[in-house]
Amino acid sequence: METKKPKGRALLPIVIFLILYLGSGIYFEYIHPLEGQMGFYIMSVVVAFSIALIVAMMQNRALTFDEKIHICAQGIGDDNITIMLFIFLMAGAFSGIAKEAGGAVSIANLLLSIIPGGFAIPGLFLIACLISMAMGTSVGTITVLVPIAAQVAANGGFSLAVCVATVVGGAMFGDNLSFISDTTIAATNTQGVQMKDKFRTNFKIALPAAVLTLIILIVYALRGNAVPMESYDYNIIQALPYFIVLAIAVIGINVFVVLGAGILLFLLAGTATGSLTYVSAFTSMGNGTSGMFETMIVTILVASIGSLIRENGGFAAILDIIKKHFSGRKGGMAGIGLLTILMDIATANNTVAIVMAAPIAKTITEEYGIDPKKTASLLDTCSCIAQGIIPYGAQLLIAASLAGISSMAIIPFLFYPFLLAVCVVVSIVMEK
């Protein structure tokens, strides 16, 4: 690959995006909030990236317009980008039919029915971890469980903020490790690694953080009262497909096979239990894939912008900065982690942060001789750390809205994201 001369001005499209998206979000969230709207979702991320792409196209007059289009097409046509787009479509269809079939509610209620009242809070954390891993969405998990967490807090005399933060932490654990999460899809495919390999690398970092979180929650629960748990309705047939999908994903079966099997299983389960009809089954899959369209468009736009920035010397400029401040493989890994966290803080979207940071991370990986599995793990983990903590991210905003408290009140009790950050630092320091 031809080495480009470092040019800081090639990063102008990213600066423009940050000013438009982050600036708009801060203004409408904290300075001039609009009732009933989340400030960071007023400026469309697609519009902001579209303007950034126009800026990128206007740079480098040495290239013709047709040559720039060709550079964009090469970025979009990358094998990993194409695979990622197809997986997003299937993941959307899976999510849609699983929800319509009653799988999400059934698996949550099944797990809630088996935890003892004295361990309601640690139980909530474990349930959030499992559901998020099975569903592949932290937001979906939070939506299902936060109302239950609020009830647990009221019944047991626990802090509402602690119970809500427990669900958010578990949701981020599952989102980080799930085989069908869009963050996992983005992190693995942009680095060209297998999901099972990234899972094993990730698990070594996430498990210690989860265990420490669980210990803290158990100690906290023992100091409170036992919660009289209600009898929750569930259907084992509706919940079973999630367990099967999780099992075959961990084995290492191709992700397309995993998602295809999941769609078929929920179709059968929904039909057998009467929760799905011919119309609702295919409508739900259509709605699920539609929900992925924005993520797919952002992926295409970022791939185009990234190709132009690389061609214009922007990636070389970032690599030059990292070389000046970070040395060796450990320094390169720290640079990737920091870059991903900054991207997430700027975009308030962990998938978008990964897609933005991924091409630069891949260049750093090649330059420093880092294992691509480690890079994929860092991208996913660090984006989830930031996304699970920032008060203006979708996860905390939705959790706070459902619980009727401020997102800032939740942050001090986000034990898992903070411990995960510590485990990431330790994993880099201990890297041989």
Q: How confident is the model over 331-340, as pLDDT tens digits? A: 999 999 998 9
The residue among 420, 409, 416, 418 whose CA lies nearest residue 153 is 409
| Structural domain includes residue 151 | yes
The confidence score (pLDDT) of residue 224 equals 63
Assess whether pLDDT exceeds 80 at residue 225.
Answer: no
Confidence of residue 220 (pLDDT cuts 50, 70, 90): confident
Give the DSSP letter string of 173-185.
Answer: HHHHH-TT-HHHH
What is the model's pLDDT at position 50? 93
CA distance 391 to 321: 29
Q: For the stretch 16-30, what's the b/e string if a residue is b when 16 or more beta carbons lie within 10 angstroms of its beta carbon?
A: bbbebbbebbeebbe
The count of domains in the chain is 1
| Residue 40 backbone dihedrals phi, psi, to 5 degrees | -80, 5
Q: With 60 as the cut, is the pLDDT of residue 70 above it?
A: yes
> Among 305, 336, 310, 311, which residue's Cα sits nearest to residue 322?
336
Better pLDDT: 231 or 45: 45
**What is the distance between the alpha carbons of residues 334 and 153, in angstroms, rounded to a whole number?**
38
Mean pLDDT score of the chain: 84
Whether pLDDT at 416 is above 60:
yes
Burial of 177-191, coded b for 16+ CB within 10 Å and e otherwise, reads bbbbbbbbbbbbbbb
Which pLDDT does position 229 carry in this prediction? 56
**Is residue 208 domain-resident?**
yes
Whether residue 182 has pLDDT greater than 90:
no
Rounded CA separation 212/234 (Å) = 30
Q: Per the domain annotation, does 379 fall within a domain?
A: no
Structure tokens at 302: 């970022």
The answer to whether residue 205 scores a pLDDT higher than 90 is yes
In which element (H, E) is residue 245 found?
helix 236-251
Higher per-residue confidence, 64 vs 401: 64
Q: For residues 372 and 354, what is the distance between their CA atoms, to the nearest angstrom?
A: 14
CA distance 384 to 134: 17
Q: Would you state the pLDDT for residue 1? A: 44
pLDDT at 282 (0 to 100): 93
Does residue 351 form part of some domain? no
User: Virtual CA dihedral for 37, 40, 42, 47, nearest 10 degrees?
Assistant: -160
- Out of 27-41, 62-76, 266-280, least confident range: 27-41
Which of 145-149, 195-199, 281-285: highest mean pLDDT?
281-285
Smallest CA-to-CA distance from 14 within 234, 267, 275, 308 is with 308
Express as a percent the part of the chain with pLDDT over 70.
93
**8 A C-beta contact, residue 299 and residue 85:** yes
Mean pLDDT of all residues in 165-189: 87
Residues 73-98, mean pLDDT to the nearest whole number? 82
**pLDDT band, very low/low/confident/very high, at 379 (cuts 50, 70, 90):** very high
176: alpha, beta or left, given left = phi > 0 and alpha = psi -120 to 50?
alpha
Domain that includes residue 220, residue range:
81-290
pLDDT (mean) for 95-110: 80
Using the predicted structure, report yes or no on whether residue 158 has a pLDDT greater than 70.
yes
Supply the pLDDT for residue 216: 93
Output the pLDDT for position 55. Answer: 95
Residue 339 resides in a domain: no
Fill in the DSSP letter of residue 412: G
User: In sequence order, what are the residues at sequence separation of 6 or more whose Cβ sits closer than 8 angstroms to the Cβ of residue 286?
Assistant: 93, 96
pLDDT of residue 71: 93
CA distances from 116 to 145, 155, 218, 254, 282 (A): 17, 14, 12, 37, 38
Query: pLDDT-based confidence at 232, cuts 50/70/90?
Result: low
* 317 located within any domain: no
Q: What is the pLDDT of residues 234-264, one digit of tens each?
A: 888 988 887 887 777 667 677 788 888 889 9
In a domain, 31, yes or no: no
d(CA 8, CA 55): 14
Residue 206 inside a domain? The answer is yes
45-49, 176-180, 281-285, 368-372, range with the lowest pLDDT = 176-180
